[in-house]
């Protein structure tokens, strides 16, 4: 096991790395030409403009004021200064809820660390198990762990009692935070300004009707079943191919702008090759080439746009249905509309920027099959993950490279090259493979067919959490692949699994300490530097930007990477809960990470990130559930570990804890979860009444007209009907079936295009 000197050395290296990142950030952030990289949030809000400085020309790009370099850490108090209500108004409740996860970890672990060092560390230290053991290498750190307590010692009662204290304190903090977030969400929804999703419901699996189009069928159904409240609707088109053409044209336009700018600077017609990325093929005039390519795509886009408008098969059996009030939308979203529970399925519509349009083209009956297939694929991905890694890394060693690329053998035989390959290449390959894992998981979630970006993020986070739990936590404790772990667990009786894992837990404390410092401390410091967005912005600014609008669009503020960041926090919290009664020395390292990350991400939320959507902290039940899972795992592992310490049946005293944890989770689920999935009718009525009193003439239909139109149609001349069925002006519901029995005039007036 690692010695105290090894831990100090590792901590010094990682602290120096983090300090280096912070120093680089402190210098780069105050340079005028980097202002849009480190403060894009304020540019997006329109409250900040490019800094202007008088004096030397260089001052427009480089900060020449030496005094500003002395206050290189002033961003930290500035990040903590903004009050939480103001931060919610500035960045949204999702961002605030995310950074509160770090604060929640601090609330749990700071008292746990104090109690552990006051009670458990002395009990562990006075034990003499390690000193009496023969031929055993250990350090002073190991003497602070439960491994130093002799088998059969009454000192284990301290660990049992403190486990109850730790669990009840965690219960209290989790319950309090759940209550606070539920209150914050209710207040946020009550105070939120008007948004289209407050009045709109997503309706899926609309049954076909032989006499009516999808649009007419939707209007007929809601005019009959919500006659006093239905306002308008927007049918959904399968415009995926059209969106692909628009995206491809945008990329070509970027290349056109690049070569046009190059021509204006050099007055020489630029050349390019017709092959991939201009790397091979026939040389042609770049400007003429991309002009013709864009023109060709314009023609394809026009043809596809016309097809989508006129082809009945391009209409998806789904629609965004809007109502005259929030109350009516809440009733519709939270009730069953049809006798057949598989038809006319309703849910709250995501806000317009949260909609993931690609998934609406998936037939509803396929969704269950897709999710079953992805569940099986996820199982194999988790438990066979080491197979592709082993294969790829086999190509990253001397023998593998020589076999695949025999002509490189003379180069590989050079000692310096061989050292680089053996020492660094396998680790780099592993890092790259792990880096693409979140994208793999996100793709799997997209295949499952969720209709919003927020839902995709939550499902990807759940998959990544499962992967981390199995392949990093358990995989680090029990050496070997997850498949080998699975085989081990299958061979064991279920009651022996916690015992088997618990025995290995103390021996891996030093590994996890190092992991926290490398992945946590240095990783968070690298996040604030924003090296990749910095480089991309300056490349775009150099080659693509011609106007201030171009410069605005070149900014890449990014957003909180919830599918990756939240599961990583859960891993650190799991480690803290597991090791608090076993090796308390690990807790300070987690506390440093949580405190540092809280400050860093507060700064990013204030100055950098531009949220992709706002779900009003809808993800919090998942956060709470995963923390309870971590607490449950820690209790089982401590129970398994103590069962090997020859204390008789005393370890049975821990058995009530897992039961209490399950009861606590069920209680919190029943008490708070509905606040995150439903909207109270009382609150909806209050907002509607207040709005009618303050804005009685507001045209809601005009406000909702284009809200849920597919983005590829918003800038086009797609046909949009101003038809609105006014129930109060007609006692009948105009449909195609009724109209054909009346007159041609009625029939023509009742055929409905999309209202948005």
User: What's the pLDDT score for residue 203?
Assistant: 94
CA 377 to CA 642: how far, in whole Å? 36
User: What's the pLDDT score for residue 190?
Assistant: 86
What average pLDDT does the segment 22-38 reach?
A: 86
CB of 297 within 8 A of CB of 252? yes
The answer to whether residue 356 scores a pLDDT higher than 60 is yes
User: What's the pLDDT score for residue 330?
Assistant: 94
Q: How far, in Å, are 158, 166, 167, 630 from residue 161 at the CA level?
A: 5, 9, 10, 19
Cα pseudo-dihedral 199, 202, 203, 205, rounded to 10: 180
What average pLDDT does the segment 69-90 reach?
A: 86
Which residues partner with 319 through β-bridges?
203, 235
The answer to whether residue 1 scores a pLDDT higher than 50 is no
Q: What is the pLDDT of residues 494-542, one digit of tens each?
A: 666 666 665 667 777 777 887 788 778 888 888 888 888 898 888 888 8
CB of 506 within 8 A of CB of 145? yes
Give start and end residues of each alpha helix (H) in 116-228: 121-126, 129-132, 156-191, 214-225
Rg for the chain, CA atoms, rounded: 30
CA 180 to CA 186: how far, in whole Å? 10
Q: How far, in Å, are 158, 184, 333 from residue 196 at the CA level?
A: 56, 21, 14
CA 199 to CA 329: how far, in whole Å? 5
CB of 515 within 8 A of CB of 590? no
The answer to whether residue 731 scores a pLDDT higher than 50 is no
Give start and end residues of each alpha helix (H) in 58-115: 66-70, 75-81, 84-91, 93-115
Which position has the higher pLDDT, 546 or 741?
546
What average pLDDT does the segment 125-147 reach?
A: 66
User: What's the pLDDT score for residue 491?
Assistant: 64
User: What's the pLDDT score for residue 643?
Assistant: 83
> pLDDT category, 706, cuts 50, 70, 90?
confident
> pLDDT category, 622, cuts 50, 70, 90?
very high
User: What's the pLDDT score for residue 741?
Assistant: 36
Q: Is 733 helix (H, G, I), strand (E, B) or coil?
A: coil
User: What's the pLDDT score for residue 728?
Assistant: 36
Which position has the higher pLDDT, 480 or 131?
131
The answer to whether residue 710 scores a pLDDT higher than 50 is yes
Which position has the higher pLDDT, 740 or 286?
286
CB of 639 within 8 A of CB of 498? yes
> pLDDT category, 413, cuts 50, 70, 90?
low
Q: What is the pLDDT of residues 582-608, one digit of tens each?
A: 889 899 999 999 999 999 999 999 999
User: What's the pLDDT score for residue 753?
Assistant: 35
Q: What is the mean pLDDT of the chain?
A: 81
The answer to whether residue 473 scores a pLDDT higher than 80 is yes
What average pLDDT does the segment 717-728 reach?
A: 38
> pLDDT category, 29, cuts 50, 70, 90?
confident
CB of 457 within 8 A of CB of 376? no
CA 426 to CA 418: how far, in whole Å? 12
User: What's the pLDDT score for residue 403?
Assistant: 67
User: What's the pLDDT score for residue 719?
Assistant: 42
Q: Which of 71-75, 464-468, 623-627, 722-726 has the lowest mean pLDDT?
A: 722-726
User: What's the pLDDT score for residue 278?
Assistant: 62
Q: Which of 45-54, 109-118, 347-356, 377-386 has the lowest mean pLDDT?
A: 45-54
CA 242 to CA 298: how far, in whole Å? 11
- What burial class does residue 233 get, using C-beta atoms within 10 Å of its C-beta: 0-12 exposed, 13-18 middle, 19+ buried? buried
User: What's the pLDDT score for residue 729?
Assistant: 39
> pLDDT category, 718, cuts 50, 70, 90?
very low
Listed residue (361, 332, 365) closest to 349, CA to CA: 332
Listed residue (650, 681, 679) closest to 186, CA to CA: 679
What average pLDDT does the segment 350-356 reach?
A: 92
């Amino acid at each position: 096991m690692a010695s105290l000197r090894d831990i100090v050395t590792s901590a010094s290296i990682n602290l120096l790395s983090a300090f280096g990142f912070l120093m680089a950030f402190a210098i780069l952030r105050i340079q005028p030409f980097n202002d849009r990289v480190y403060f894009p949030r304020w540019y997006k809000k329109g409250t900040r403009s490019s800094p202007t400085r008088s004096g030397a020309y260089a001052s427009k790009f480089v900060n020449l004021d030496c005094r500003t370099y002395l206050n290189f850490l002033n961003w930290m108090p500035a990040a903590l200064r903004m009050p939480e209500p103001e931060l919610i108004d500035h960045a949204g409740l999702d961002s605030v809820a995310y950074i509160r996860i770090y604060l929640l970890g601090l609330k749990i672990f700071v008292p746990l660390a104090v109690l552990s060092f006051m009670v458990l560390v002395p009990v562990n230290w006075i034990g003499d198990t390690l000193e009496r053991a023969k031929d055993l290498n250990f350090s002073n750190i190991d003497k602070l762990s439960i491994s130093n307590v002799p088998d059969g010692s009454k000192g284990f009662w301290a660990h049992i009692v403190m486990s109850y204290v730790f669990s009840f304190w965690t219960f209290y903090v989790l319950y309090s935070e759940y209550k606070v977030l539920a209150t914050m969400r209710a207040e946020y929804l009550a105070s939120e300004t008007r948004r289209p999703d407050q009045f709109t419901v997503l309706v899926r699996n609309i049954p076909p009707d032989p006499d009516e189009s999808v649009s007419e069928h939707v209007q007929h159904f809601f005019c009959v079943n919500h006659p006093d409240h239905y306002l308008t609707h927007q049918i959904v088109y399968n415009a995926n191919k059209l969106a692909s053409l628009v995206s491809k044209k945008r990329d070509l336009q970027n290349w056109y702008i690049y070569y046009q700018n190059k021509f204006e600077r050099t007055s020489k017609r630029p050349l390019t090759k017709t092959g991939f990325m201009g790397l091979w093929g026939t040389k042609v005039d770049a400007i003429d080439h991309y002009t013709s390519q864009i023109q060709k795509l314009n023609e394809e886009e026009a043809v596809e746009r016309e097809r989508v408008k006129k082809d009945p098969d391009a209409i998806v059996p789904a629609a965004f249905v809007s109502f005259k009030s929030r109350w009516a939308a809440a009733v519709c979203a939270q009730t069953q509309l049809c006798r057949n529970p598989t038809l006319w399925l309703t849910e709250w519509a995501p806000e317009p920027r949260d909609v993931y349009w690609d998934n609406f083209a998936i037939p509803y009956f396929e969704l269950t099959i897709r999710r079953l297939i992805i569940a099986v694929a996820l199982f194999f991905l988790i438990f066979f993950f080491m197979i592709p890694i082993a294969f790829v890394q086999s190509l990253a060693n001397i023998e593998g490279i020589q076999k695949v690329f025999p002509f490189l053998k003379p180069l590989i035989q050079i000692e310096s090259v061989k050292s680089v390959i053996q020492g660094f290449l396998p680790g780099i390959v592993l890092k790259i493979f792990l880096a693409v894992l979140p994208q793999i998981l996100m793709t799997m979630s997209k295949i499952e067919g969720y209709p919003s970006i927020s839902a995709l993020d939550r499902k990807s986070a759940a998959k990544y959490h499962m992967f981390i739990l199995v392949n990093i936590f358990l995989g680090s404790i029990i050496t070997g692949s997850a498949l080998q772990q699975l085989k081990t667990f299958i061979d064991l009786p279920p009651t022996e699994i916690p015992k088997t894992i618990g025995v290995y837990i103390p021996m891996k404390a030093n590994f996890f300490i190092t992991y926290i410092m490398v992945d946590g401390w240095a990783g968070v410091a690298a996040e604030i530097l924003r090296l990749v967005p910095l480089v991309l912005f300056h490349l775009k600014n150099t080659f693509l930007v011609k106007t201030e609008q171009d410069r605005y669009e070149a900014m890449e503020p990014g957003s909180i990477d919830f599918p990756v960041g939240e599961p990583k926090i859960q891993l650190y919290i799991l480690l803290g809960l597991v090791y608090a009664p076993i090796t308390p020395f690990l807790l300070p390292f987690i506390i440093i990470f949580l405190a540092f990350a809280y400050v860093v991400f507060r700064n990013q939320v204030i100055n950098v990130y531009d949220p992709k959507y706002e779900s009003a902290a809808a993800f919090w039940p998942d956060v709470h559930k995963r923390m309870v899972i971590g607490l449950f795992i820690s209790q089982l592992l401590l129970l398994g570990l103590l069962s090997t310490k020859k204390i008789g049946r005393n370890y049975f005293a821990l058995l009530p804890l897992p039961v209490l944890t399950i009861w606590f989770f069920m209680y919190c689920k029943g008490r708070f979860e509905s606040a995150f999935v439903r909207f109270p009718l009382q609150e909806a009525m209050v907002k509607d009444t207040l709005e009618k009193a303050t804005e009685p003439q507001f045209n809601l239909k005009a406000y909702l007209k284009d809200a849920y139109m597919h983005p590829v149609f918003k800038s086009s001349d797609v046909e949009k009907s101003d038809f609105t069925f006014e129930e109060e002006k007609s006692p009948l519901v105009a449909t195609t079936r009724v109209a054909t029995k009346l007159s041609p005039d009625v029939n023509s007036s009742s055929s409905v295009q999309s209202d948005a």
